[in-house]
């Protein structure tokens, strides 16, 4: 089975923490162990995950400690990358450039996000942009 190298936008993480019914939660539940999905991380992305999740913790029904546990788990299973170059600005939303830089540096195939329009033009870097549902459907995890 091929390994799928991906970068998760923060909105995917938050959606997965918000509800157990959606594709984001299904995606998160597949990570770790013998999964064929490999997430890639950078320090700025992990810091964003933590900051946004802690800010939303009350609405998510989580404590700060819960958020730290989730982030620690992602750090444990994710492939870590130092990013030494900046192409900014490339994307419509400059905050998303760090995801593009990470995906290219890590050799990822896919950026998973709910803001696909913010990633227009990443095809020139050999990347696909998909929602969690589109990705899970493509790899045969949902019908």
CATH assignment of the domain containing 48: 3.40.50.1010
Query: Where does the pLDDT of residue 18 fall: very low under 50, low under 70, confident under 90, or very high at 90 and above?
Result: very high
Query: Where does the pLDDT of residue 2 fall: very low under 50, low under 70, confident under 90, or very high at 90 and above?
Result: confident
Question: Greatest CA separation found in the chain?
Answer: 40
What is the pTM for the complete model shown?
0.94
Q: Is residue 109 part of a domain?
A: yes
Q: Is residue 60 part of a domain?
A: yes
Q: Is residue 131 part of a domain?
A: yes
For 83-135, what is each residue's pLDDT tens digit? 876 666 788 888 899 999 999 999 999 999 999 999 998 999 999 999 999 99
Please give the residue range of the domain that contains residue 90.
4-138
DSSP state string for the chain: ---EEEEE-HHHHHHHHH-SSSHHHHHHHH-STT-SEEEEE-HHHHHHHHHHHHHHHHHHT--HHHHHHHHHHHHHHSEE--------S-SSSGGGHHHHHHHHHHT-SEEE-S-GGGGTTGGGGT-EEE-HHHHHHHTTS--
38 in Cβ contact with 102 (< 8 Å) = no
Q: Is residue 26 part of a domain?
A: yes
Q: Is residue 143 part of a domain?
A: no
Q: Is residue 15 part of a domain?
A: yes
User: Residue 70: is its pLDDT beyond 70?
Assistant: yes
How many domains is the chain partitioned into structurally?
Answer: 1
């Amino acid at each position: 089975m091929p390994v799928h190298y991906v970068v998760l936008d923060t909105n995917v993480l938050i959606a997965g923490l918000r509800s157990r019914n959606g594709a984001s939660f299904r995606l998160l539940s597949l990570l770790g162990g013998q999964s064929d999905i490999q997430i890639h991380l950078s320090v700025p992305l992990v810091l964003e995950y933590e900051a946004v999740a802690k800010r939303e913790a009350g609405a998510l029904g989580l404590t700060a400690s819960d958020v730290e546990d989730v982030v620690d788990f992602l750090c444990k299973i994710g492939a870590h990358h130092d990013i030494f170059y900046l192409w900014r600005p490339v994307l419509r939303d400059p905050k998303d450039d760090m995801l593009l830089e990470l995906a290219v540096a890590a050799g990822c195939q896919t950026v998973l996000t709910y803001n696909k329009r913010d990633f227009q033009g990443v095809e020139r870097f050999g990347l696909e942009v998909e929602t969690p549902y589109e990705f899970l459907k493509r790899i045969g995890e949902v019908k």
